[in-house]
Amino acid sequence: MTLAAGRHYLAIPGPSVMPDPVLAAMHRPAPNIYEGELVDMTATIAADLKRIAVTEHQVAIYIANGHGAWEAALANVCAPGETVLCCVTGRFGEGWAEMARGLGLVAEEIDFGLSSALDAGRIEAALREDRAGRIRAVLVNHVDTATTVRNDIAAVRAAIDAAGHPALLMVDCIASLGCDPFEMDALGADVVVAASQKGLMTPPGLGFLFFNERADAVQRANKVSGYWSWTVRARPEMFYQFFGGTAPTHHLYGLRTALDMLLAEGLEAIWHRHEVLSGAIWAAVDAWGQGGAMRLNVPRPEERSFAVTSVHLPEGKAEELRRFCSERLGVTLGIGLGRDPGVDYLRVGHMGHVNAHMVLGVVGVMEAGMAALSIPFGPGAGSAAAEVVARGC
């Protein structure tokens, strides 16, 4: 027998749950792409994206997923043969480094492991050793979606400044924007990479680059293709220049509605909601771990993302539980991406359009799955999660 009939719930770390108003906004005929409503609306999107990133600087929009936004960021500020310093706290840190190498860059990695945040002291030391100033940029994932580690961006900015190094600070906020607290200007990021399909609650397909004057000055000294260059996209004279060609029409309608919803709630409220709901998941896993082998991948709470949680359950039980919950109970959890063996990890997405009953429902489903599969676990997870939610009200 299956209990999965009904509306399936996707608790993966992106694409996140899309609100019904966002889907409804996209359900319309193709618009005129030369004048009228779409053109007028797009001008408001750029301004409101900057409100979400908390920046007074520029934003460029690409028809791309997060990987495309990675490439756009590198293409604008780095030329083949130049060096970037990649701070790796998981698979997506490795992925950005791999992309850099594919573009002909020298990607030097500092590996901080898969369960802890970066050590800014090691970054400062590496920059001090670079007396010739070869390193063009420091690449950091604010949240690595695979390990769910959250890094201290202010500490990286301080390390670059303490070393007196001219490297740009480039931050991947694909998983964290609109979920974990992040303020581009206050944190001193020069380039910020984001995408539409996680905290911004819009289908995959839009990538965003936020950049300040320091990064723009570097870009202007580079040779960048007309498509990847952020110069015209951020300051278009004609509408099509926003996107290097035809606009992603229906994504823009969806994004406009998503931004309306986010700004109506307010950033402080959004960050608080994600903090509370992630805490409910952590409390449940801690309770289960008292009578079984389940544990959180990131031991220190201050180094955990509010958007997604990686969970370790050995002997292949994580994948067994994940499949059971999806096939038999109607909830899909995230795979153990970037792990060997991946079958010992699963990830719980709690980003974007998510509320208390969604998260508490995931807790109940996971416990039912463990009980059905005879996976040992400690009692009280539901009560512990509910108590976190109650305190956060």
CATH 1.25.60.10 fits 9-16+266-392, yes or no: no
Smallest CA-to-CA distance from 134 within 104, 97, 108 is with 108
Same fold yes or no, 9-16+266-392 and 31-264: no
Q: What is d(CA 194, CA 169) in angstroms, rounded to the nearest whole number?
A: 15
- Does 347 show up as a binding residue in the annotation? yes
Q: What is d(CA 379, CA 371) in angstroms, rounded to the nearest whole number?
A: 11
| Domain residue extents for the chain | 9-16+266-392, 31-264
Model confidence at 141: pLDDT above 90: yes
Residue 103 tokens read as: 């573009």
Cα 16-149-164 angle, rounded to 5 deg: 120
Tell me 122's DSSP state: H
Average pLDDT, the chain: 96
Instruction: Tell me if residue 339 falls in helix, strand or coil.
Output: coil
Per-position DSSP letters for 199-229, written without gaps between them: TT-S-S-EEEEEE-HHHHHHHHTS---TTT-
- Residue 1 is predicted with a pLDDT of 75
- For the chain, percent helix, then strand, then coil, each to nearest 5? 45, 15, 40
349-366 mean pLDDT: 98
- Name the pLDDT band for 388 (thresholds 50, 70, 90): very high
Tens of pLDDT, residues 4-52:
999 999 999 999 999 999 999 999 999 999 999 999 999 899 999 999 9
287-309 mean pLDDT: 98
272-282 mean pLDDT: 98
Cα 289-295-298 angle, rounded to 5 deg: 145
Please give the span between the terminal C-alpha atoms of the chain, in angstroms, as a whole number.
37
Report the top-level CATH class of 31-264: alpha beta
Tens of pLDDT, residues 175-227:
999 999 999 999 999 999 999 999 999 999 999 999 999 999 998 777 888 89
